[in-house]
Amino acid sequence: MKGELYSLDNGGSVGVVELSDAVFADKVNEHLIYEAVKTELANQRQGTAKTKERTEVRGSGAKPYRQKGTGRARAGSKKSPIRVGGGTTFGPRVCSYKGRLPRKMRLKAMRSLLSRKAADAMVKIVEDFAVKIEKTREMVGVLSRVTGQDRVFVVLDASQKNAKRAMRNIPWVKCYNSNQLVYKDLFYAKEVLITKAALADIEKHYGKPVKGAE
């Protein structure tokens, strides 16, 4: 599979690069994408919501009024859920929503996402960002030459720290290192920019292992 290489100076095509079929032309597994995004969102939940049950509500354990002779229903405690100020029935409890997919499923889900974006012509390979670009204003001008300003997912290699810092405050850009891609942001992205240096890392990290290789 081949893809065009775009220049950051004028936004035009300056060549062709080889894309790994194992990463960018793999069979798309929609269910694995769903599981990966769902697990990622679940891991972000705190699970700290909690209500007090009748045993945790402050109050006396004495009977509010006598059992018989009042004409009212029997009541054993002021902390009953049916009384004002009483405990809550079936309320949320502190719990963990953490989940984890096996490594092979995570890699397959990422390959499916990248292949789906490539099939929809949303993937662009760009030249490496210049080291001198450190300001957000300059980065906005560079990105606007090669992409629209709507949900752009940028993949850099770990060495381009200045470029990543310059993108940090751009609201329509999500920037990640090549070995730390996020499923949710990639799923909702309308354009995916991958630098030439990060492309090799992606293919190495998410590519299928060769049978018989050590």
Cβ partners under 8 Å of residue 40, min gap 6: 182, 183, 184
Cβ atoms of residues 206 and 176 within 8 Å:
no
- Dig out the tokens for 135 from the structure: 């300001």
Burial group, residue 127, by CB count within 10 angstroms (0-12, 13-18, 19+): middle
pLDDT in the model for residue 60:
85
pLDDT in tens, 161-192: 888 899 999 999 999 998 889 999 999 999 99
**Among candidate residues 198, 124, 190, 189, the one with its CA nearest the CA of residue 164:** 198
Q: How confident is the model at residue 214 (pLDDT cuts 50, 70, 90)?
A: very low
**What digits encode the pLDDT tens for the residues 190-205?**
999 999 989 999 998 8
Which residue segments constitute the domains of the chain, with CATH numbers given?
A: 2-45+100-206 (3.40.1370.10), 47-96 (no CATH)
